Each structure stands twice: as structure tokens, then as C-alpha cells.
Structure 1
């Protein structure tokens, strides 16, 4: 009998099939293999299914494609469906435009603790460098190499420290960073039981802070968020955000304010209706 995987990587995507091809490849070369992938697809066309089918045929990792009809931005709904599809006790959430360093899953697993969630970050690549990324670049891990990025025109900034390979430096920066540990959907992990205990994502939420809100309910329910932004490394491929709008931001802000005011631990608009 095959052993149960140690984690499920939930990857959110919508019509970015070529980005997803690269992201999936970054999981094919992880330093640990005992995880499954669940793709939360918010209504992509056939190109995405083709990429997933091709990847599934090439890898030994179990891959599940959870899809819903395209009806606007409904990420919270499809991620809730993906959570229910998982076969493990520990969940790692990320996006289909975030390429994982080869130790990404291993590090999330090493740092997990009971009643804690891990809050990671990402390093944003420029549009020009994003276009240079290929399977060969990922295999050689060049997209995580500070020197290679600088040579390709990535602006020099303190944020390059997010790509450190030093465990001591990462731990130090995780401790001193002023950035709060929150639930950011592109790089966060938690116990499945802890997210089910708050009924998952609030499906009323649209784009902008929709992932933060579920984290706030988890905190209200006693889950502590640990800062690991310099330890669990991924790079973000550049793209525009046409779905960003003021009405969504206002709606989400109101829901989050209610969660904060009422110290809510549960949403009536989540997995259980």
C-alpha cells in the first residue's frame, strides 16, 4: 500500500497555462517527493487542462485538477473545493505564477508545528526576466540566484535577501522583519484541521485580501502565524491584474472589519453552507 503523502500543495490558477507549466516543473524537481498537488482552477480553458495532463504523465507526483466554470473571480470557492480534494493533514497554498525553489516543500514540512501556520513571501521578477524563465533556468535554479538576476537587469534592492540560502541569515531576518505573519495565498501553509475548523475561505470575498481574512479567523481560533518569508522561497512571474477593482476592495474590507470587530472564528459562507 502506498504511504499517505505528508502534504498537499494547492496551486490556484486561471488561464496562465504557460506560467503553470513552469510552476509545475518546479515541483517536479523538489528535494522531497512525498506530497501531492491539487490545482484549484477558477475556470481556465482547455490549454490549462492540456498542461496538467502532460505534467501528470511525466511525474510520479499525484496531481488532481479541480475546475469550476468561469463566472468571474471566484478563487475562494475553488480553493475551498481543492481543500476538500486533499488527502493529507498538511496544506501548502501557492499560486500558478509562483515558481518554488527546490527546497520549498521540504522547508515547509521541516518548519511546521502544531497549532501554527507558516507565513512565507515571494520575490517579484521583472517582466523582462519573467520572459527568460524556462525549464532549464529552473533546473539550474538560476531564477533564485542573486547574481544571475542582477546580470539580467533585476534592480538591486534589500528584497534580494529573500533569496538567501543561509539558514542562519533566514532565521535572523524572519525574526527582525517588521512584516506581520499573515495568510498570504501565494506562500502559506497550515494544518488542514485548522482551516476546516474556521470553515475555510469566505466565498463572498472577491479579489484583494481574500486570503488574509481566513487567516484572521484562524488567529481568532488560536492558530499562531510564524514568519518564514526568508526560508520558504518562491519567485513571482510578472503579470497584469485586470481583475483588480475598487468595489471588490470595499466589499472585502467590510467583511474583514466584521471579522475583526466580532473576533469571528467561523464563516457561514465557507465550505459548510
Structure 2
């Protein structure tokens, strides 16, 4: 077990064991090795435990499974528990449907800066590739290869540049993109002290920009978000979002509106409860 790893990769999941198996495999191939994995599990059943057990037995990485009972969408709550469980001073947040390129962890570590957070992105795979992708495809890096993806039916588009292997091109595209650098939970990293300073995620929030809100509090607290969407590469498996609903989005929007209006830096509904 690594007592003080360089970074903790926090992977959120809920009842998608086959996706998680693919995602965990991508972390066994990383060019960096001094990191731990925290599985932030919002109430998955035994199938997910089996996947984690199998991976842990095959891997040299320290894997911590943080689980809570299934009581509806409580991602913010389990992420706060994962932050507390982490053993590193630097945290990388991602999701259990995002397969990481082999340089994902190393790039986050190389680009980290004090009083900054790194805002990454993802390349979305189409439905047929997402269904057919294998462990071997990840090992052979096929799913990050533009030509291979196009040959399998992925549409040609400018977004394929999100898979660039050129650091120079990535740096240029990061500078030119009109997309704002924000806290996007599928690919973002920051120093642990900076997210603890704002008391982590607001646990009142349901699905829909719940990650953006913690980033807005961090910005209000002096943290600068750096754009790295073309540098920290991961591919996102296609899926529907049945848990999305208007009522929850209204609640989240009202909380975010208050955060922006009052320039809030701290939530009373986070890691430390008042």
C-alpha cells in the first residue's frame, strides 16, 4: 500500500461493472505508477465488488472502495467520502465510463500548478464502438487512434483533435478553444487542500452541473482553472441518462445562482456539516 502516493484518482461509479472493468484496465497501463485509485461507489450491487476485487488482485496499485447504500443519486456525498479517504495531496477526478489514455495520470501531474485546477475534457465514442470495445482494444491503444475509430464507424469531426498525440498541438488548441475551463467531474484535478478549503461538494445537489458548483466556489476562493482538454486524454463510453430530470436541475441551478450571486467560497452542506 502506498502511504503517500503522488496522486489519488477518484473514479465515480454506479452499477456499471463492465464499464468499470474497462476503465480500471486503462489505469493498469499508465506511464505513471505512483498513484492510488479511490472508487467512489454510489450504491452499486455485488457485481461491482467482484470487478474491483479482480482488478485489485491483478494490480500493484492501491485500490480503495468507498461505498454507500443506494438511496437515489448521491454522487456528491460519495465523492466527499472519497476525498476524505484519499492519501494524496493531489486529486484527479474522473468517471467510471471514461477510459484513460496511458499518459493521463502523468500529464495531470506534469501540468499541476499551485493554486490552480486542471480542466480536462473527453472524446465521446459512438454507441456501437462503446458496446464492442474490448480490453485488448485498450491495451493496443486502438480506442485513442483516430483512423481505427473512423474505420469502426466513428464520425469524422474536429472533435477527433481531442485525441492528438502532439503536445505542441494540444497546447495550441488549449489556448484557442472557446470552451471555459471549469470543474468537469469526468476529467479534472486539483490540490486536495483547495477543495477541502471550500468544504467539498454540496450534498444537496442532484444530477446536473453538481461538479461545476464546487469549481465556482473554488474560483471564488482564488483558484485559477487551467484549460487542458486537449492534453489529458480520455474517451467516454456512450450511454443514456435516465436519472436526468427538470426538478433536480432547477434545484441545482438555484444553488449555483446563489453561489455566483453571493460569491460563496464555502458550503454548509459539504464534508464538514454545521
What is the TM-score when the length of structure 2 is the normalising length? 0.99
Cα distance per residue 1:203-248 (max 9 Å; x no partner) = 0000000000000000000000000000000000011110000001
Structure 1: stretches of 5+ with no match in the other structure: none
Q: Provide the rounded CA distance (Å) in 2 between the counterparts of 1:164 and 1:3.
A: 34
User: Which residue in the other structure is 1:99 paired with?
Assistant: 99
User: Which residue in the other structure is 1:198 paired with?
Assistant: 198
User: Which residue in the other structure is 1:27 paired with?
Assistant: 27
Q: Provide the rounded CA distance (Å) in 1 between the counterparts of 2:67 and 2:92.
A: 19
User: Which residue in the other structure is 1:113 paired with?
Assistant: 113
Q: 3-state DSSP class of the match of 1:94?
A: strand
Q: RMSD value over aligned CA atoms?
A: 0.8
Q: Provide the rounded CA distance (Å) in 2 between the counterparts of 1:178 and 1:224.
A: 17
Residue 132 (structure 1) shift: 1.9
Please tell me whether the aligned partners of residues 3 and 87 of structure 2 are also in contact (alpha carbons under 8 angstroms).
Answer: no
Please tell me whether the aligned partners of residues 198 and 267 of structure 2 are also in contact (alpha carbons under 8 angstroms).
Answer: yes
Q: How many residues align?
A: 273
Q: Aligned runs of 1:30-45 on 2, under 5 Å?
A: 30-45=30-45
Cα distance per residue 1:184-204 (max 9 Å; x no partner) = 000000000000000000000
Q: 3-state DSSP class of the match of 1:179?
A: coil
Q: Provide the rounded CA distance (Å) in 2 between the counterparts of 1:180 and 1:142.
A: 29
Confirm or deny that 1:64 pairs with 2:73.
Answer: no
Q: Provide the rounded CA distance (Å) in 2 between the counterparts of 1:103 and 1:254.
A: 38
Q: Provide the rounded CA distance (Å) in 1 between the counterparts of 2:32 and 2:74.
A: 31
Q: 3-state DSSP class of the match of 2:10?
A: strand
User: Which residue in the other structure is 1:77 paired with?
Assistant: 77
User: Which residue in the other structure is 1:136 paired with?
Assistant: 136
What is the TM-score when the length of structure 1 is the normalising length? 0.99
Q: Aligned runs of 1:108-257 on 2, under 5 Å?
A: 108-257=108-257
Residue 133 (structure 1) shift: 1.1
Q: 3-state DSSP class of the match of 1:272?
A: coil
Residue 3 (structure 1) shift: 6.2
Q: Provide the rounded CA distance (Å) in 2 between the counterparts of 1:60 and 1:101.
A: 19
Structure 2: stretches of 5+ with no match in the other structure: none
Q: Provide the rounded CA distance (Å) in 1 between the counterparts of 2:56 and 2:147.
A: 33
